[in-house]
């Protein structure tokens, strides 16, 4: 029996989704300094009624970004939780398994004992080792030995791509249509959530709690409230990260030739569902076309 088939018949039918953020503390974006970005993200989450999001940290980046530890503490004080995204954000595909686990341990040494800490680990780049199953299984076993659960993702719309596109456009002196940027950001994430929900229902025979991947970006600081409003309009209920990661889908470890994407995609692949199994705008070429057409080409006089 496949991993996916093991969960057939579960009764959950509603659309539930948690918001999670990677790469904290992240470098500066196109529009705000780090302080303003954090202030806006916290305010937008509160105003949208999101009581608990998860922030996945790279502690090795903290010393190089002034005030980062204080900003992380403010996320926690606002009711959000923190977890491990490795110390230095390496690709597992390019790293020895033991060195990779040591990097995780360094991050754990910073995280453990802090308020808001959760024993979750999210793979940088969602890279579980590519086609190297020995490395993949070594790290999976190492995480289990450390009491760390996979901080998997089920919904991804490559927000990092649009953030970098905005940074590049500003550096090039290009005028951006901010309404177009908002609409592209919001639409892409809602579409990705709808895509993953439909794929999960076909794969599992139920609607698991979804976990949306975001990053600590200026676009999140600008448009989180719009995103939450749009999700709710589509029938989504925003839940805590604690509730989402308690879903039985998190117990599954799909055995597929390569894992560098969402858990939903990997489970569908394992079950043999035909492509497409991933959201179309995660293709950088397509995302770039959309950005140029709607944000640069769509600028208002």
Give me the mean pLDDT over the 161-187 stretch: 98
pLDDT score of 298: 65
Give me the mean pLDDT over the 17-32 stretch: 97
Contact between 17 and 238 (Cβ < 8 Å): yes
- What pLDDT, in 10s, does the model give residues 260-276? 999 999 999 999 999 99
- What pLDDT, in 10s, does the model give residues 63-90? 999 999 999 999 999 999 999 999 999 9
- What percent of the chain stands above pLDDT 90? 94
pTM over 0.85: yes
pLDDT score of 235: 98
Protein fold of 25-296: TIM Barrel (3.20.20)
Residue 3 has pLDDT above 90, yes or no: no
pLDDT score of 297: 87
Domain locations in the chain? Answer: 25-296
Residue 13 has pLDDT above 80, yes or no: no
């Amino acid at each position: 029996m496949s991993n996916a088939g093991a969960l057939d018949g579960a009764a959950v039918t509603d659309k539930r989704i948690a918001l999670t953020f990677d790469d904290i503390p992240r470098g500066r974006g196109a529009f705000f300094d780090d302080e303003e970005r954090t202030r806006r993200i916290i305010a937008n989450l509160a105003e949208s009624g999101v009581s608990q999001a998860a922030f996945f940290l790279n502690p090795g980046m903290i010393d190089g970004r002034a005030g980062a530890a204080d900003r992380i503490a403010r996320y926690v004080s606002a009711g959000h939780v923190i977890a491990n995204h490795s110390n230095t954000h390496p690709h597992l595909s390019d790293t020895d398994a033991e060195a990779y686990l040591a990097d995780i341990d360094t991050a754990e040494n910073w995280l453990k004992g802090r308020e808001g800490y959760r024993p979750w680990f999210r793979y940088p780049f969602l890279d579980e080792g590519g086609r190297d199953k020995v490395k993949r299984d070594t790290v999976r076993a190492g995480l289990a030995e450390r009491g760390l659960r996979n901080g998997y993702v089920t919904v991804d719309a490559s927000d990092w791509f649009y953030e970098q596109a905005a940074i590049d456009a500003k550096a090039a002196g290009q005028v951006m249509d901010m309404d177009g940027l908002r609409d592209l950001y919001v639409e892409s994430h809602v579409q990705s959530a709808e895509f993953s929900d439909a794929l999960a229902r076909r794969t599992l025979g139920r609607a698991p709690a979804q976990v949306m991947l975001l990053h600590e970006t200026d676009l999140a600081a600008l448009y989180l409230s719009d995103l939450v409003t749009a999700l709710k309009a589509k029938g989504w209920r925003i839940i805590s990260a604690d509730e989402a990661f308690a879903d039985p889908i998190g117990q599954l470890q799909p055995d597929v030739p390569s894992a560098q994407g969402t858990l939903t995609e990997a489970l569908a692949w394992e079950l043999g569902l035909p492509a497409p199994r991933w959201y179309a705008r995660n293709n950088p070429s397509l995302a770039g076309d959309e950005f140029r057409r709607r944000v640069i080409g769509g600028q208002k006089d």
